[in-house]
Chain A
Amino acid sequence: MKRRQDAPENSATALPLGPAHPTTDVAAASPLARDLARLLTHEDVDRARDRWAVSRARRAEGHSKLGGRLSLVWLLVGPGVLVFLGENDAPSMLSYSATGARFGIGFFIPFVVLTFAMGLVVQEMTVRLGAVTHRGHAELIFDRFGRFWGLFAMGDLVLGNFLTLVTEFIGIRAGLGFFGIRPIVAVGAGLAVVFAAITTGRYWTWERITMGLAVFNGLFVPAALLARPHWGSVAYSLLTWTPLPHGRIFDILLLILADIGATVTPWMIFFQQSAVVDKGMQPLDIGAGRFDTLLGALLATVFAIAAIVATSPLFHHGIDASQFQAAQFAEALEPWIGHVGAALFALGIFEAGMVAAIAISTSSAYAFGEVLGTGHSLNRPLREAWPFYSTLLGSALTAGALVLVPHAPLVFIVLIVNVIAVLAMPPALAFLLLLVNDREVMGEHVNSFWENTAAITVTVLLICAGIGFGLATVFRTS
């Protein structure tokens, strides 16, 4: 097929500058249709290809309801699954592992379910924002609140994302280190995967590759099965939230606050909204977007619980795992779950770091592109959107390189990254709530009373957890 020659982007100045407003009008019905037809880009064509497939699946529902619906689900799942499985990143999976090793099967299993439910409430709002406004989160903040507040939001995102990326490459290094792979080879392999995912120049293909990797977050499930837990205890804990954790109250509270506060991190809000926009989702797809987000939350919950269950043998055998790093968990578990189980665990840590590295570096690139007004779509080829791809690869490369630097302050970064994510959430949630209740932006899709009730409850809890966690960390280490 003849490759489209894109009109120079500056010829868009031929169009009148005007206010945006929520609309579901097809572009062909727009008064500017004739002008838009001349200014279509490669990105528009790729997005139209994806939209045509969705329209086709919707019409197929009329002929075969189940087949059409499955086809529609297949086409529209993606951002929600990726954001939640990306949030099951290396530090998170290690945190769940540490929880299982320290407290076994009990309170923290239903607690994890609660935290993901809270995350679901927050992430659902990003689906609506992206599908209605067709703008990324950074772009909307700059538009509605101005450069001053936009730069603050970007500052939180950039700092948090970079530090988190470093911890992801620590996880990649540690996960592959279990198999004797040298750090430089492990980090190089991780960077190669990030690069390979973006070379397709198609959002759809990038999404499917990353989802294919994300599915391996489920490696913790066979590891959990190999731990041969008492499944009755798991079911009992889900229903009764017992047994309660024992130990120093302060440490347990700190862990609870950390888990609450780390459920949703700023990059998740920016990433999912931008991915929804890049995927070309429209208001008609909000229902499917909600299902996608729910599916992601469910999968992530199951895999997180699996990590807790997989390391519960360490609790039952009185192994002190408080100072364990990633590979040490896998090695310590080998007597009880076997070499295969330990290998699966280590591979799961590698996967957790890998998918998160892809998603987080992409969220940074989306945000920079939206703010700078440069092309910011995975539907653009490398040569067309080189600032976007340079940000994506540059952030991953820098984080990966730091992990290889001798005497780099990696322990310091691991210590503070979770706290920074928790601290940065309250302002991010405040902007999110303001935007999703903004009728000029959302039109009829503003939060309902019950959606606001749920969202404000979660936001208040997260803010209190953030303040509590920050203060507890300060007073604990002072």
Chain B
Amino acid sequence: MKPTEIEVKASAAALECGPDVLPPDLEDPSVVLSVLEADQVVAAKQRTHFGRRNLSLGMRVMLWGLRFYVLVMLVLVIVSAIRALHPAP
């Protein structure tokens, strides 16, 4: 398959990345696309998502367990801190 015009320009731009070469014209989209990966481009990232993962029962139990632990401990710690700052007479 013949390379597209953008691929040809991008290859040329990539070859020019030598140590003594001046910075390329980044107004040229082909140059920008030659150094970024496909999903680094903002427009591409906005339109692609990894999708929901299926969580096994074990994973759900673990996540819920950790969440329950955090909430309970948070309440206990806040109550304890308040008591420490305002001890009963």
Residues of chain A touching chain B, judged by Cβ–Cβ distance below 8 Å, are 1-2, 4, 7, 9, 11-13, 15-21, 23-30, 32-41, 43-45, 47-49, 51-52, 55-56, 59-60, 63-64, 68, 133-135, 140, 143-146, 149, 152, 156, 280, 282, 373, 375, 411-412, 415-416, 419-420, 423-424, 426-427, 430, 434, 438, 440-441, 463, 467, 470-471, 473-474, 476-478
Contact = CB atoms under 8 A, between A and B. Distances in A.
A37 B6 contact: yes
Looking at chain A's contact residues, is the secondary structure mostly helix, strand, loop, or mixed? helix
A25 B81 CA distance: 53
10 contacts: A20-B50, A20-B51, A27-B32, A40-B33, A40-B42, A45-B27, A48-B32, A49-B26, A134-B40, A144-B51
Contacts, number: 228
Given A68-B19, A426-B66, A34 B6 contact: yes
A470 B33 contact: no
A140 B19 contact: no
A36 B4 CA distance: 14
Interface of B: 4, 6-7, 9-11, 14, 17-19, 21, 23-24, 26-27, 29-53, 55, 59, 62-63, 66-67, 69-70, 73-74, 76-78, 80-85
B53 A145 contact: yes
A28 B35 CA distance: 8
A355 to B, nearest CB: 27
A9 B27 CA distance: 18
Given A27-B40, A470-B77, 4 more contacts: A19-B48, A24-B37, A37-B29, A423-B70
Given A134-B39, A474-B80, A56 B21 contact: yes
A29 to B, nearest CB: 6
**B40, B42, B46, B66, most chain A CB atoms within 10 A:** B42
Contact of B49 (A19, A40, A471): A19
Minimum-distance CB pairs A-B, first 10: A28-B10, A37-B29, A39-B43, A60-B19, A28-B33, A20-B48, A477-B80, A51-B35, A27-B33, A12-B43
